[in-house]
Structure 1
Amino acid sequence: MDSPVLDILIIGAGPIGLACGLEAKKAGYSYLIVEKGCLVNSLYKYPLNMTFFSTADRLEIGGIPFASIQPKPNRPEALEYYRRVTDSQALNVNLFEEVTALGESEGIYQITTSKSTYRAKHVIIAIGFYDVPNLLNIPGEGLPNVRHYYFDPHFYYKQKIVVIGANNSAADVALETYRKGADVTMVIREAELGRIKYWTKPDLENRIQEGSIKAYFQSHLTVIRENEVDVQTPAGLVTLPNDYVLAMTGYQPQFYLLEKFGITLSSDLRRHPFYNPDTMETNRKNVFLAGVICGGMDTHIWFIENSREHAVKIIRHIQAQTQAG
């Protein structure tokens, strides 16, 4: 027998996917949120000691208060908040269930996952971009001492590490590992540090100036070997002894999934997905985008605080469609 037809199926149980579920439930729609990993999977992968740039009220969804000890919450507080939202609102969430295909027949979508098949009138894609790192594309990047994710500084005690990047993630990694006893060298393509939290940047600048953290600006890695790396600097090629490379080079959306689902992407390098900014509807009728995925490669456009409104736009549009006919 065919499965019942849901009003809405939401792909992704991050903060914005949960916000879409809250709005769908509030409007009385039948819905399901399907997530390939754990709840708020991207936030779970954040560094253990990470503090958000935003205040707690800017991370709230569905008008549900986010209580935090400090004005800017940390990772454990955020995980606790989104778990409590999910439980207190009894959201319908299936975890560790990956969506593999999106078909359509007579205006009804068929969503195939790793565990089941669902049918829905509307689909909301609210996936993030933390699962696909931007690669260096240099020899040795596949070695086990190269990491694109960072969790805890203790592991790097007394290790020689190279941190690649100039923004928040690289700054946090460099400072935390340095303070836990690592020998830290930063390799930065730009001539100066980039977008860094205002309470972190002076600290890093001072550590670089005093030489506690070494930094090569306008430089890049050319080769990674088991125990050393080559760095191209303005003064020439430098070989550094190395135990671990932490490539904090950013991440990108799952473009392959959008293409697989038939979502149009721009032909330029930014790869912006097509959607109507008033309704969030894509080129496929009744398929919507929500959250950071809307920015394509411009991953610094959309955050929790300014994309949670996508949920409201989408549900209002669906309600208007329903009322019209």
Structure 2
Amino acid sequence: METLDILIIGGGPIGLNCALEAQKNNLSYVIIEKGTIVNSLYNYPLYMRFFSTAEKLEIGGIPFISTAPKPGRQEALEYYQGIARQRDIHIKLYEKVESVSRKNEIFVIETSKGKYSARSVIISTGFYDIPNLMNIPGENLAKVKHYYTEPYPYVKQKIVVVGSSNSAVDAALETYRKGAEVTMIIRHSEISKSVKYWVKPDIENRISEGSISAHFNAELMEITEKTVIFKDEKGEIHEIENDFVLAMTGYLPDFDFLKNSGIELQGECLNPLYNSETMETNIPGLYLAGVVCGGKDTHLWFIENSRIHAEIIIKSILSK
């Protein structure tokens, strides 16, 4: 079995950028990705637009040409998957990494399809695969969706949207405009300040005029086949008719995988331990890149500000 210089776990934008840096420095590598190339982007809402402009999403110095000020999901898929094709990125798709262990300064990586050996490992797995559950009765019902793709299934349906971030606001506005009766259950006192600046006035105006019903400082308590039960800001309990719940409550990194790989997790946010100057964890030769670095604080890192991780990591590996 060949021992690679680097094995990269995760074929998202940052994983691809790590591969480009490895190529540039003549290091042998492979990416292991459990889905398709940039799998998380593939699973984004169909009409999602980025907050960042195209140039801030670029990797490897390769221009990202967009016809709009803010590129959308399809443009991003074309850009990143096009890079993988054009640069002949070594990537294994639909293969899940099951364990990472270090033996005699060499990592052994076991996957759903085989075994690999590498001198260094980069974990760039993002956070989009594990929903942040509400842990309430009825959350496992088929009508509860933790991922939203498009509004058409919800036409003329009574929809409850949980949350007030970008994903929740997009789901609320899109389903409302396709004829859904939308109620938002929001734990905070206002729409999140992180909502895209060109969308925030839209949702606030729809709430103000009563087109979308919103309950602030509220909490969803239970989901039944035909209703939802929630507590309002006064502590009063309400039950309303409901067909679907879009639980846009966020997502989490795979903390079990990080912990089983030997990485220390710290504090309430389960921040993985790493050296910010090298991105190396407490396990020598094991690095983190991208959103996964933030633990539960998944808004800390994103494509725009974590592209630099690839260069930092490869520089550290070469220094050894």
TM-score, length of structure 1 as denominator length: 0.97
Which residue number in structure 1 is paired with residue 174 of structure 2?
176
SS at match of 1:192: coil
SS at match of 2:131: coil
Q: Indicate whether 1:302 and 2:304 are aligned.
A: no
Which residue number in structure 2 is paired with residue 41 of structure 1?
39
**What is the CA-CA distance between 1:290 and the residue it aligns to?**
0.3
Provide the rounded CA distance (Å) in 2 between the counterparts of 1:278 and 1:19.
18
Which residue number in structure 2 is paired with residue 192 of structure 1?
190
Which residue number in structure 1 is paired with residue 93 of structure 2?
95
Structure 2 residue identity aligned to 1:125: I
Q: Indicate whether 1:319 and 2:318 are aligned.
A: yes
Provide the rounded CA distance (Å) in 1 between the counterparts of 2:319 and 2:120.
13
**What is the CA-CA distance between 1:146 and the residue it aligns to?**
0.5
SS at match of 2:74: helix
Which residue number in structure 2 is paired with residue 259 of structure 1?
259
Provide the rounded CA distance (Å) in 1 between the counterparts of 2:103 and 2:230.
54
**What is the CA-CA distance between 1:106 and the residue it aligns to?**
1.4
Provide the rounded CA distance (Å) in 2 between the counterparts of 1:80 and 1:301.
26
Q: Indicate whether 1:231 and 2:230 are aligned.
A: yes
Structure 2 residue identity aligned to 1:269: E
SS at match of 2:271: coil
CA root-mean-square deviation:
0.7
Q: Indicate whether 1:249 and 2:249 are aligned.
A: yes
Structure 2 residue identity aligned to 1:282: T
For 2:155, which of 154, 157, 165 is the aligned residue?
A: 157
Provide the rounded CA distance (Å) in 2 between the counterparts of 1:238 and 1:113.
47
Structure 1 residue identity aligned to 2:249: T
SS at match of 1:314: helix
Which residue number in structure 2 is paired with residue 275 of structure 1?
274
Alignment of 1:10-89 (within 5 A): 10-89=8-87
Which consecutive aligned stretches of 4+ in structure 1 deviate over 2 angstroms post-superposition?
none
Structure 2 residue identity aligned to 1:290: A
**What is the CA-CA distance between 1:179 and the residue it aligns to?**
0.3
Structure 2 residue identity aligned to 1:207: R
Q: Which segment is superposed worse, 226-235 or 212-221?
A: 226-235
Structure 2 residue identity aligned to 1:169: S
SS at match of 1:149: coil
**What is the CA-CA distance between 1:79 and the residue it aligns to?**
0.4
Structure 2 residue identity aligned to 1:178: Y
Stretches of structure 1 that go unaligned for 5 or more consecutive residues are: none
Structure 2 residue identity aligned to 1:53: F
Alignment of 1:103-118 (within 5 A): 103-118=101-116
Provide the rounded CA distance (Å) in 2 between the counterparts of 1:130 and 1:103.
24
For 1:134, which of 119, 132, 137 is the aligned residue?
A: 132
Provide the rounded CA distance (Å) in 1 between the counterparts of 2:101 and 2:253.
21
SS at match of 2:272: coil
